[in-house]
Amino acid sequence: MELEDGPAFHDPWAGVKVTHGQRQQGAGHQHASDGQTTTAAMGRTILRVASDEPIPPDLFLSGYSREIRDLAEQLRGIVHEAVPEAIERVRTGWRLIGYDVPVGRRTRYFAFVAPEPKHVHLGWQHGIWLADPEGILRGAHLELKKVRYVTYQPGEEIPTEALVRYTLEAAGLATLGAAGPRA
């Protein structure tokens, strides 16, 4: 990751270090010849990020309060406990940490941890098909077609055993592929 000259600050929504200093009129994305993307917005800082360089989850979470980071870490731990082979990747466009499960030579997206300023979501891409004996999954009330999630605020009790079960089941659903359920 290459940053312009100037003092750095962290934008938790973008999940990358950004640098103050040089400003540019206009907005949009310009592709540099060195394989990097320069993002500029009217009156905002220019950000240069190598397109193939992943953002570490710890860096992504560093812009949130200690309580939100701790809660996100606890939920990340649940995903890793349930599916140790899961591939964790920050998805800045969605402002979350996404999880893929290996399926042969490919991977399939199955879960996410999405921090917000006051709470953190743990969700599952194909959650509509999860058995929910505890009745804790949310998303139907928003008429989400497939995604289901839970939301916790700092200090709330986390039902780790149930969340591990949901996550394991979600990974199994993701591996079903074309023969599995469809929305």
Tens of pLDDT, residue by residue over 102-158, are: 998 899 999 999 999 999 999 999 999 999 988 999 998 898 899 999 999 999 999
Looking at the structure, give the CATH architecture of the domain made up of residues 57-179: Alpha-Beta Complex (3.90)
- Which residue spans within the chain are E strands per DSSP? 8-11, 16-19, 28-31, 36-40, 47-50, 87-91, 96-103, 106-115, 120-124, 148-152
Amino acid at 155: G
- Is the pLDDT at 36 greater than 50? The verdict is no
Return the DSSP state at 2.
Answer: B
Query: What would the DSSP string read from start to end of 66-84?
Result: HHHHHHHHHHHHHHHHH-T
Token pair belonging to 75: 């939920």
pLDDT tier at 59, thresholds 50, 70, 90: very high
- Is the pLDDT at 4 greater than 70? The verdict is no
Token pair belonging to 92: 């800045």
Domain range list for the chain? 8-50, 57-179
Give residue 134's pLDDT.
85
